[in-house]
Structure 1
Amino acid sequence: MNGVKVTIGTNTIQAKRLIGSAGGTISVTSGPLAGVKVVFPPGAVDQDTAFTLSYNSGTLVPKSGTASGRLLDIHSSGATTFNEPVSVTVPYDKTANVVPVPYHVDSSGYLEPCQVKRINRTAGTITYDIFHTSLFTEIWAALTGEGGATTYRPATNGFQIVNTGSSYNPGGECFGISAFAQWYFSNKADGLYPKYMEDIPLQSGGTRKGQSIIATRAHTSLGQQWNSYIPAVTAQYNLTQEDIYVSIINAIKNVKLPVMLYLKDKETAEHARHAVLAYDYYASSGAISINDPNYPGQVLTARYDGTTKKFLPYNGYKGIYLIGLGSFFTESFDSIYKDAESGFDGSGDAQVTITSHTFDQEVNQRTVTIVGKIESGQVLVTKIKLTLNGTTPFEAAVDAQGNFSVPVSLNYGENTIAFTTYGKNAKGFTVETPNNQLTPFKLKLILNKAVILVTLTWNTNNTDLDLYVIDPTGDASWYQHKTTADGGQLDYDDTSGYGPEHWTLLDTNVVRWGQAYRVRVHYYSDHQSGTPEPPTIPSGYTINVLLYEGTANPVTLNYSGVLSSESTSNISPTATGPDWANVVDIIPVQPTSGAQPQFIRDPSGPVKLLVPISEEMLAPKQESPPRQ
């Protein structure tokens, strides 16, 4: 890539402010950034974050147009990406006959166009949207130059597959195809067109080409921001078509890469909106060379009429707009590239590898942490659920590199663990993605048996719910006092989401037969902050109770509910309020012959569980003989 490169200098802070989930504005009234305004809408950040606006002393010499002389560095103490687009407004000389074009400056100093939202020629300002902190600048563009801007060619550098979509994105994947082709051309020396055309098998049957899987991954990643991004793109409808044309030409000339165009207003409903790459232009004729994912390998042309100052319809599309990819943040395309280079490990589905344990391994600790790595297939995996013995779920987030770490509470003897993987489709909805763990993983716990084992899990990340068990003496086991005098023990306090937390009373501890052990759940915090305080994220909890572990007839019961209030102060084991749930009173009864379980609802609310057991139930569970 031989595009314009910024020589990055040093930063001098011009303004700073704490921005919370309610949003806010940072303005600069004097100095080299005078007139700059950055607006954070509600929900752009989850919690109070310190932001600074700095002037960078670097330099930029464009190949086309004039540098604004302003390098704006937006920096934060925490969040580097935004949930909603943040708008940046900067001044320009409204008396000059130019079109202002904003750019993101990457860590190497190269430019990528940002998404223009508005040009106000009366006020002399331009507004553009961003989804991440970084260094930004502008070029004042004029219509100059004559082609030869890039060496990109569709039959060498584009995709070979036709844009037909997938089960995840049935409407097509033009956005992902165009964006990945641009990235590959920028970062890799060889041509994309002939690569990754091998057939990759799927668990559901059939195969998909490697390029098709790349298209799905890339489109899904970008599409998750598209709903928030649409207002910025549609705001271009207020720009003149000459503004858009000059911006496209300036970007191609300075970046030396194809730029993405958004097409709309097609005369037929089929493929009413579309994304393509523009990779060259000819000012004298107004021709723009197009790589269209619907016509791989072909050279197509869009045209701008310099006399009427309007675009002619391209393939039925009347509207042509520039998409500023520099405003986006996405899954690293390098991760997709590495998966493609490995042939997606021979499968279009997620590949789960457990690195912490071996199949059928014996362990002597009840709580183990299952650690592993996921190579994503058609959709980037962001969450994993481990289901223990078909009943108890344990969930955790998966990081951008595919790593996961899930604490799991095992039962006495043999345990089976089933793996379910999840990602997000292009609309941002969580979807289950197939994986290679078709046979449940097995671990065997060799440890004293539990008379009572209580497990708490919940369904929200970055939240803190707490398990409390109050024994018949009034001794409470909770995160500030984990072990009771009788030996009942809370294993640990999970503060980051999902759980699990476990309370165990072993057969070697003091068991108070015929007396109640009360199980409670408290919502401590959802870790949000801001002014005003944002509403609490509701969290659904599940309590799993296992009684008489390792006997011939263990009892397993599940309870669930939702807490929608939180409190970091109302934490006493006997506290009450909307942030608390009394889940169940467990009353183990001394072994008797022929006794049957009973269930009684206490008038005060909690369920009382009476579980008389027989001598036979206390007998050790008989192991099955090994297979020959």
Structure 2
Amino acid sequence: MQLRHVFSLLLLAAAPALAQELASPSGGWNRRGQVDQSAQAGVAYPYSPIDRGAQVNRSMIKGKIAASRDKRVRHQLIVNGNPMPLLTDSSGYYARPYRFGAGSNSVELRTPQGKSMRRIQFYEADRSSAQPVIRVICSWDDPDSEIDMHIITPDGQHAWWAGPVLKTGGGLDTDSVDGPGPEMFTLASPMRGNYHVYINYWGKLGDNGYHFDETGRRKQIITARITLVFNENTPREKRESMVLPLRSIGDLKLVKSFLY
């Protein structure tokens, strides 16, 4: 039987008028097998997350907040310093997938005004998965839009939703199709050479599923945030974030080419 050491949560004071809950992952000393609940995830916005390709060993960030009355502003979820818009269902519940690396990790809830509501710090002790060396994270600000991330590797492989797993290991390990992301690309043993990161404004989401009708859209321009993280959770960690506007379905943009 595995021993589980549970430490106290690091909780920041919340505004009295805001009900908030950050139920998972738990704080303290965790192992991936104990916090990965993706197969049982039942709450998301607007549909339950689906596993696709290499989406294994991921953890669900779950909880409940008092939704803002102003739908134009969103709470934020800050995961290891990566900000993402946080959407809820009609009752205020949320669930977002994330693949945590070994070592120290943090999850924080913030109000639309940027005030910290609650923060959990935990240590991922499972070393069976290699530490991420290259990670690319994409999120966007429109729950009715679907954005796909595409990565071209130095040997010409193409990681995308229809082919997420690379022959050399790694790939897209979180492909969100139910809200503003995240989509995540991870490599533990990257080959040397040039990498190219693209995003594609694929379509819209309506009551009957995805479609390509742009009439009646609520946002004329949506923005995507792409974050590149190198050597995550190590003293050599470096990161770079970019925000790109997307104006119409079909937009395909080169976000970044970089040499590793």
Does the C-alpha gap of structure 1 residues 416 and 460 become closer, same or farther in structure 2, counting only changes over 3 Å? same
RMSD: 2.9
CA offsets per residue over residues 201-225 of structure 1, 9 Å max, x none?
xx79xxxxxxxxxxxxxxxxxxxxx
Distance in 2 between the 1:519 and 1:475 partners? 12
For residue 166 of structure 2, what is the amino acid of its counterpart? T
Does the C-alpha gap of structure 1 residues 554 and 436 become closer, same or farther in structure 2, counting only changes over 3 Å? closer
For residue 145 of structure 2, what is the amino acid of its counterpart? T
- Equivalent position of 1:562 in the other structure: 245
Distance in 2 between the 1:532 and 1:539 partners? 12
1:495 aligns with 2:180: no
Distance in 2 between the 1:582 and 1:530 partners? 22
| Residue 521 (structure 1) aligned to one of 199, 205, 211 | 199
Deviation, 1:358, is 2.0
Distance in 2 between the 1:543 and 1:348 partners? 33
- Equivalent position of 2:138 in the other structure: 456
Contact 1:466 1:522 in 2 (8 A): yes
Does the C-alpha gap of structure 1 residues 357 and 516 become closer, same or farther in structure 2, counting only changes over 3 Å? same
1:354 aligns with 2:22: yes
Tell me the TM-score normalised to structure 2 length: 0.72
Distance in 2 between the 1:361 and 1:538 partners? 42
- Equivalent position of 1:444 in the other structure: 123
For residue 548 of structure 1, what is the amino acid of its counterpart? N
Deviation, 1:549, is 2.9
- Equivalent position of 1:371 in the other structure: 62
For residue 228 of structure 2, what is the amino acid of its counterpart? V
| Residue 257 (structure 2) aligned to one of 574, 585, 589 | 585
Deviation, 1:476, is 0.2
- Equivalent position of 1:87 in the other structure: none
CA offsets per residue over residues 128-150 of structure 1, 9 Å max, x none?
xxxxxxxxxxxxxxxxxxxxxxx
Contact 1:351 1:435 in 2 (8 A): no
- Counterparts of residues 115-134 of structure 1 (less than 5 Å): none
Partner SS for 1:545: strand
- Give identity over the alignment, percent: 20
Distance in 1 between the 2:82 and 2:110 partners? 13
Distance in 2 between the 1:415 and 1:361 partners? 10
Structure scoring higher RCO (CA < 8 A, sep ≥ 6) equals 2
Does the C-alpha gap of structure 1 residues 522 and 352 become closer, same or farther in structure 2, counting only changes over 3 Å? same
**What runs of 5+ residues in structure 2 fail to find an aligned partner?**
1-12, 37-56
Does the C-alpha gap of structure 1 residues 363 and 463 become closer, same or farther in structure 2, counting only changes over 3 Å? farther
Does the C-alpha gap of structure 1 residues 381 and 367 become closer, same or farther in structure 2, counting only changes over 3 Å? farther
Larger-gyration structure (1/2): 1
Contact 1:394 1:408 in 2 (8 A): no
Deviation, 1:558, is 1.0
- Equivalent position of 1:387 in the other structure: 78
Distance in 2 between the 1:457 and 1:406 partners? 11
- Equivalent position of 1:400 in the other structure: 90
Deviation, 1:581, is 1.0
Partner SS for 1:527: strand
Deviation, 1:473, is 1.4
Higher strand share: 2
Contact 1:384 1:396 in 2 (8 A): yes
1:512 aligns with 2:191: yes
Contact 2:229 2:238 in 1 (8 A): yes
For residue 121 of structure 2, what is the amino acid of its counterpart? K
Contact 2:132 2:186 in 1 (8 A): yes
Contact 2:27 2:122 in 1 (8 A): yes
Contact 1:479 1:492 in 2 (8 A): no
User: Number of residues paired by the alignment?
Assistant: 215
Deviation, 1:538, is 2.0
- Equivalent position of 1:481 in the other structure: 163
Higher helix share: 1
**What runs of 5+ residues in structure 1 fail to find an aligned partner?**
1-202, 205-346, 423-431, 568-578, 589-628
Does the C-alpha gap of structure 1 residues 478 and 531 become closer, same or farther in structure 2, counting only changes over 3 Å? closer
Tell me the TM-score normalised to structure 1 length: 0.32
CA offsets per residue over residues 155-188 of structure 1, 9 Å max, x none?
xxxxxxxxxxxxxxxxxxxxxxxxxxxxxxxxxx
Deviation, 1:433, is 8.6
